[in-house]
Amino acid sequence: MSKSNDNNLVKKHDELSRKFLTDIGTARDFLRLHLDKDIVAKCDLDTLTIESGSYIEDDLKKFASDIVYKVDLVDNTSCAYVYMLIEHQSRPEKLMPLRILRYQLAILQKHIDENKVEGDLPLVVPMVFYNGKASPYPYATDIKELFADREIIDKLPLGNFGLVDLTIMSNEEILEHGKLALLEMVMKHIHVRDFRNVVRYLYNAVYIAHDNEINKSLFNSFLHYLINARNKDELKPLFEQITNNINEYKGDVMTYAEELRKEGRQEEKQEIARELLKSGVDKSIVARASHLTEQELEQIQNSLN
């Protein structure tokens, strides 16, 4: 068969398939016959409608078309989408399960966007209607079959994720994690209301990380994170414990502590300047009193306007 005749036949496949499968009565019969019986039992096929839009990439549209059916569940808790991919290409695609997964996600995203969904998601049931030359369909329909290690992929179902929930880990458990305890402890407690209650745990994590020869740059990143996340007065007890007990970190902590002091003095100067300017004091007098630059005073002045 010539290429032009082949393309013409593909077009006819599409026209005929869509004509049948967009007829609601025929579509109901098709789904009753070919859908999993447990899924059919969950669906009220009398509510079957056809959704607008296509999910096929432009470069694949000459090989396939698609239809999305929407149906209510019999218990009225939600709905289900049946995604029908009508495959016309004579050469089946090995990565078809991955394509189907992308289409399923696109349908879910559209449902979320249109319905402002924040809770339960609907079912998306994918089906492929195939009439290619190779028989039977020569490739897997299960996406797990695409992965190199099929034993491990059984433990990693798509969409599921491993969870490291610091909020339910005890401090004692975290302190058993070596140098990683420093990251986990500060992340666990960074939002705590009374920071004094967690200083000893943070210090213990610092000590353990040091004992496990943590990279110095990681410790400095920890300090930098703290001074940007918590009030400077809250950090004094922790910094004092570190400088009094871990000589190797003393210089780094004192450097950060000095930066905090400078920052505090700068904030005090800015507050004084702000109050003077609000009271109508001349800017030149404020500059002499606060020792702030003209540019800094200009920024404060603009914030008051």
Over residues 132-148, the pLDDT tens digits come to: 888 898 999 999 999 99
Residues 281-299, mean pLDDT to the nearest whole number: 75
Tokens 């099929």, residue? 150
- Global pTM reads 0.71
Report how far residue 238's alpha carbon sits from residue 195's, in angstroms, rounded to the nearest whole number: 10
Share of the chain above pLDDT 90, in %: 53
Amino acid letter, residue 295:
Q
Task: Look at 41-45, 202-206, 256-260 and tell me which has the smallest mean pLDDT.
Answer: 256-260
**Token pair of 52, please?**
């607008």
Tokens 């700068």, residue? 266
The strand pairing partners of 270, in sequence order, are: none
Q: Is the pLDDT of residue 272 over 80?
A: no
184 contacts 217 by C-beta, under 8 angstroms: no
CA 13, 17, 20 angle in degrees (round to 5)? 150
Q: What is the pLDDT of residue 260?
A: 66
What are the residues whose beta carbons fall under 8 Å from the beta carbon of 157, sequence distance 6 or more? none
Report how far residue 49's alpha carbon sits from residue 69's, in angstroms, rounded to the nearest whole number: 6
Residues 49-58, mean pLDDT to the nearest whole number: 91
Scored b (16 or more CB within 10 A) or e, 147-179 reads eeeeeebeeeeeeeeeeeeeeeeebeebbebeb
List pLDDT tens digits, range 73-99: 999 889 999 999 988 766 778 999 999
Q: What is the pLDDT of residue 207?
A: 96
Q: Is the pLDDT of residue 127 over 90?
A: yes
Q: Is the pLDDT of residue 8 over 80?
A: no
What are the residues whose beta carbons fall under 8 Å from the beta carbon of 166, sequence distance 6 or more? 174, 184, 187, 188
Give which of 48, 51, 56, 13 is closest to 31, Cα–Cα: 48
Largest Cα–Cα separation, the chain: 93
DSSP-assigned states of every residue in 91-137: S--TTHHHHHHHHHHHHHHHHHHHHT--SPPPEEEEEEEE--SSSS-
Residues 96-115, mean pLDDT to the nearest whole number: 94
At 1, the pLDDT band (50, 70, 90 cuts) reads very low
List pLDDT tens digits, range 209-237: 999 999 999 998 999 898 888 888 899 89
Strands 123-130 and 79-87: parallel
Q: Is the pLDDT of residue 34 over 50?
A: yes
Report how far residue 115's alpha carbon sits from residue 100's, in angstroms, rounded to the nearest whole number: 23
**Mean pLDDT estimate for the chain:** 87
